Amino acid sequence: MKSLASIAIGAAALASVASASVKGFDISHYQPTVDFAKAYSDGARFVIIKATEGTTYTDPSFSDHYTKATSAGFIRGGYHFAQPASSSGAAQAKYFLAHGGGWSSDGITLPGMLDLEYAPSGDSCYGLSASAMVSWINDFINTYHTATSQYPLIYTSTSWWQLCTGNNGSFGSKSPLVVARYASSVGTLPNGWSYYTIWQNSDAAPWGGDSDIFNGDLAQLQKIARGS
């Protein structure tokens, strides 16, 4: 999500989902009410829940979502929406860890996810150069790894990665890739990754939030959650 990259699934799935896959979804306070029992009944087995943003914001629905997802039997984890212009990667990783983004080797907790996407307003890359963005990401993931022994998942799109990191290829051996592409196939992956771990393939999951597909079977997903 250790290098988690080494246990995520084979290099095959550049264009389509592997034959073995697991359904999941990701949510935030924009989905205040989620029927987790229905989602589980429909075959979803993992959920990634927004925990934090920057160093001042904690998602108000995180605790409720996390508790209910756990009770429903989900493998679950938190994600952090990056605000690289506001503070260092280390500061944001520490804030994330202190507000729900931690990891334990219990088989049901995914390593946290770093959400890297176009800035909601202003410059798409938060005013950072490609080299500064790469340094910021390294600061975040290394701080997280020091605290947990796991590298966080990195969520991004190929277009953002090319624009804002200069298509840097140095992260694939550390952080598992969660790639966003709303299409019938995954398409070209960001540089540095030969396969994806999770594909966010839709912004309209049946249970709310975004639809995700894990590139492997349930046993492999559980292995990531155990950190083994």
**Based on the number of CB atoms within 10 Å of its own CB, is 143 exposed (0-12), middle (13-18) or buried (19 or more)?**
buried
User: E strands along 144-218, which residues?
Assistant: 153-156, 177-180, 198-202, 210-214
CA distance 163 to 81: 18
Strands 153-156 and 177-180: parallel
Residues ≥6 apart with Cβ < 8 Å to 93? 80, 139, 140, 141, 143, 144, 147, 152
Concerning whether 106 is annotated as a catalytic residue, the answer is no
Concerning whether 123 is annotated as a catalytic residue, the answer is no
**Based on the number of CB atoms within 10 Å of its own CB, is 24 exposed (0-12), middle (13-18) or buried (19 or more)?**
buried
CA distance 73 to 63: 16
Number of alpha helices (DSSP H) and beta strands (DSSP E) in the chain: 6, 9
- Residue 6: what are its φ and ψ, rounded to 5°? -75, -15
Q: Which one of the listed residues 26, 53, 59, 212 is annotated catalytic?
A: 26
Please answer whether residues 213 and 17 qualify as being in contact, where contact means their C-beta atoms are separated by less than 8 angstroms: yes
Q: Which one of the listed residues 35, 53, 64, 117 is annotated catalytic?
A: 117
List active site positions.
Answer: 26, 117
